[in-house]
Structure 1
Amino acid sequence: MTQNGTLPARHRLFRSGFAAINAIGADRWLRPFTLGAGMILMFHHVRPWQDKAFAPNASLEITPEFLALTVKILRREGIDIISLDDVAQRIMGNPGERPFAVMTFDDGYRDNLEHAAPLLRALDVPWTLYVVDGFASGRGSLWWLDLERVIAAANEVSIFLAGKLQTYQTTSLKQKYATFDALHRRLKTGSEEQLHRAMDELRQRYELDPNSVVRELCADWNELRSLAKDPNVTIGAHTLTHPILTQCDARKVEAEIALSKDAIEMRMGRPIRHFAFPHGDAASAGAREFRLSRESGYDTAVTTQPGHIFASPTADLWSLPRVSINGLHQTENALRALLSGAAFLPQAILPSKRRA
């Protein structure tokens, strides 16, 4: 559940899998088949570890020390760390003899500026920060974090879902995790309207101001403009409000993708060429969203669907997979399995049309 606590069952399986890959050396002998042209790494929070008993979003944060280890291992393994601007050439043009990695960070968290930026600057590493227009403007809904805060503080949580008030007991740690998992799943798989209606009511009931959470955690435009003076930093778009795009109608999706480009360009005073789909899994971004990102003028768009990238002159640059660096697996075993591509063996053997 925390870095030093008991992992959920599926993450215990992941940890065992990473250890097995390294024990038999699969990260070495499978590398020619699984590494591909390279990978795009995905991060969220970077900050000193807080060992909390209830931390359902712990997978979304790593320590600065682990970020430094990631860079060290990439370079030790002969993997070039490149700018997102150079990805198209490495995939579709001349891939080069060495594989590549791109460092990307989602949502625009202030801790990226406080902890990741100085470290990456010192190591001369290029990186991309995907920004949500609303978050940088001090408004919006980090609803998965709001949900965590409500459950952490309450012994009982009541929420309206499907027109009914439902109550969950959250006295014990086990109950808190079970409640978070159940509500997170229901909210994410329902409609955007239901998600926001339920979360608005929940915040009101438990006196939580959503904008205060965004202002606390996300960098503002002045901070982002200062960050962007670093030539190694690329600013990308991550929509206007961070919705689940597949749950939105066509007009809203077009606005979230296209207008976020215009809005962030205006705020930053520079072109915005790259886009990241919020949530980004197969249930959150599909063919419609990929098409609109291409038509909106982005050079690339990234998902959260796992996998490495294989060179092809016909590669789809608007549905690129990423490798999530998971805060529940901050070990060298996990890194080596992920960076080698061995953890994604089925995708490497049978690459989909999307992944080219």
Structure 2
Amino acid sequence: MFISKRQIISSGFGFFRRTGLHRLAVPFTGGAGAILMFHRVRPSQPRDFAPNLLLEITPDFLDAVISRVKALGFMIVDIDTALTMIAESSGQKFAVLTFDDGYKDTRDIALPILEKHAAPFTMYVTTGFIERTARLWWVELEESIARLSRVRIAIGERLFDLPATNAAEKNAAFATLYQALTDGSEEDLLAVIVDLARQAGLDPLSIPEELCLDWAGIETLAKHELCTIGVHTLTHPRLGKLTETDMRRELGDSRTQIEAHIGKEAEHLAYPVGNPVAAGVREFEAAAELGFKSAVTTRPGMIFPAHDNRRTALPRLSINGTWQSLDYVEILLSGVPFALWNKGRLVA
């Protein structure tokens, strides 16, 4: 019988919730702190077809997460303070709140909650989203499939003809195409999805216009005492799929543009997608050589003193919209799931 990844995760969290054993392991697996990763924050919009739901949480859940993090003894600090705390090994656990991409709802919905808690945060922005020249292709894919009753597209030499008349078929079509597209190059991925958007009557560049802040919004937010603006490249590519020259241009040119607009240094980076395919040793070394003080991945894990020597390869904990549970957050912050996943290694 096939057991899905979701079922495995659910079973694991259920075990820890019932037994509370994760709390006993915290002194060994909890590390010095954690960097939490968020994307969108907006009121719940129940819908049957929502493959990108994992990238959004509700305002109430963000509020509750911050309260729980503090109740667990974490001090919420900005990324620069966290780097100092890693180096000093003070014993006080820290949490850093990070928001990727540069969404309007970070300012409009998340910011009042962050202000309520006096919680510093880092917002990693993609300059192409700000300027409406880059594409949130995962949203395009969802929106295109939502509009179509059948998905007919070629990816390389493979032809896909997938039904999409109901939510189940649309979810299956999204999963199939997502896997096939992410196996290939950035160029092919973007070309295929723009073709699909054309079939669906969707303007791809209307999406960053609707969802993302412009330069005026970024410049204003950069002046907020709680906000640190970070770098998230020019076009949000999987850097590991690019040539060395293009990869370095994505990092360096985006930083230069951001600094010119906000009038201060942008010394912290988030790798787009951030998994091992998108960011590896080559990217970690390039970020260090380009002078970034830190760079975060999407690889899950706690922060340990050993990360002081791996500042451009820092793990994060994803606050996942399909698991909006405070028990889930507490179990993650124990560090136990990552120690088990990495077969006992605390720093993977």
| TM bucket normalised to smaller | over 0.9
CA distance in 1, matches of 2:145, 2:191: 18
Q: 2:59 aligns with which of 60, 64, 68?
A: 64
Residue 314 of structure 1: how far off its partner (Å): 5.1
Cα deviation for residue 99 of structure 1 reads 0.9
SS at match of 1:304: coil
* 2:9 equivalent in structure 1: 14
Cα distance between partner residues in 2 of 1:313 and 1:239: 23
Structure 1 Cα separation of the partners of residues 174 and 115 of structure 2: 37
Q: Which moved more, 1:194-203 or 1:33-42?
A: 194-203
Q: Which residue is 2:71 aligned to?
A: 76
Pairing 1:261-340 to 2, within 5 Å after superposition: 261-312=255-306, 315-340=309-334
Return the offset for 1:232. Answer: 1.0
Contact persistence 2:39–2:55 (CA under 8 A): yes
- Tell me which residue corresponds to 2:32: 37
**Would the aligned equivalents of 2:83 and 2:308 in 1 still touch at CA under 8 Å?**
no
Residue 87 of structure 1 and its aligned partner are, at CA, apart by 2.1
The corresponding residue for 1:195 is 189
Give the match for residue 157 of structure 1: 151
Specify the alignment match of 2:238 in structure 1.
244
Letter in 2 for 1:75: K
Q: Structure 1 stretch 14-23 or stretch 256-265: which is displaced more?
A: 14-23
Q: Deviations for 1:128-176, whole angstroms, at most 9, x for unmatched residues? A: 0000000011221111110001111111011221145432111132211
Residue equivalent to 1:255: 249
- Give the C-alpha shift of residue 19 in structure 1: 2.4
**Contact 1:188–1:244 (Cα < 8 Å) also in 2:** no
Cα deviation, 1:188-219, whole Å, max 9, x if unaligned, reads 12011111211222222222111101100011
- Kept in 2: contact 1:301–1:318 (CA 8 A): yes
Counterparts of 2:210 and 2:75, CA distance in 1: 34
CA distance in 2, matches of 1:314, 1:277: 18
Alignment CA distance shift 1:340-1:132 (3 Å) = same
1:88 to 80, 83, 91: 83
1:65 is displaced (CA, Å) by: 0.7
Alignment of 1:349 onto 2:340:
no
- Asked whether the equivalents of residues 163 and 169 of structure 2 are also in contact (C-alpha less than 8 Å), the reply is yes
State which of 121, 126, 131 in structure 1 corresponds to 2:120.
126
In the alignment, is the contact (CA less than 8 A) between 1:19 and 1:334 conserved in 2? no
Identify the residue that residue 207 of structure 1 maps to in structure 2.
201
Unaligned ranges ≥5, structure 2: none
TM-score, structure 2 as length reference:
0.96
Contact 2:86/2:308 (CA < 8 Å) preserved in 1?
Answer: no
**Which amino acid in 1 is paired with 2:31?**
G
| Cα distance between partner residues in 1 of 2:82 and 2:70 | 18
Q: Structure 2 vs 1, CA of residues 22 and 230 (structure 1 numbering), >3 Å: closer, same or farther? A: same
Letter in 2 for 1:30: A
CA contact (8 A) 1:91 1:315 kept: no
TM-score by length of 1: 0.93
Q: How far apart are residue 22 of structure 1 and its match?
A: 2.3
- Please state how far the C-alpha of 1:178 moved relative to its aligned partner: 1.0
State whether structure 2 residue 213 is matched by structure 1 residue 219: yes
Cα distance in structure 2, aligned partners of 1:303 and 1:211? 26
Q: Which residue does 1:235 correspond to in 2? A: 229
Q: Counterpart of 2:142 in 1: which secondary structure?
A: helix
Counting matched residue pairs gives 345
Amino acid at match of 1:130: Y
The residue aligned with 1:185 is: 179
Task: List runs of 5+ in structure 1 lacking aligned partners.
Answer: 1-7
Identity over aligned pairs, percent: 39
**Secondary structure of the residue that 2:305 maps to in structure 1?**
coil
**Structure 1 stretch displaced more, 183-192 or 158-167:** 158-167
Query: Does the 8 Å CA contact 2:338/2:346 hold for their aligned counterparts?
Result: no
Distance 2:10 2:42 in 1: 22
Counterpart contact for 2:147–2:200, Cα < 8 Å: no
CA–CA separation in structure 2 for the residues paired with 1:141 and 1:165: 24
**Is the contact made by 1:26 and 1:342 (CA closer than 8 Å) also made in structure 2?**
no
Encode CA deviations 1:94-146: one digit per residue, 9 max, x unaligned. 12122111000100111111111111011100000000000011221111110
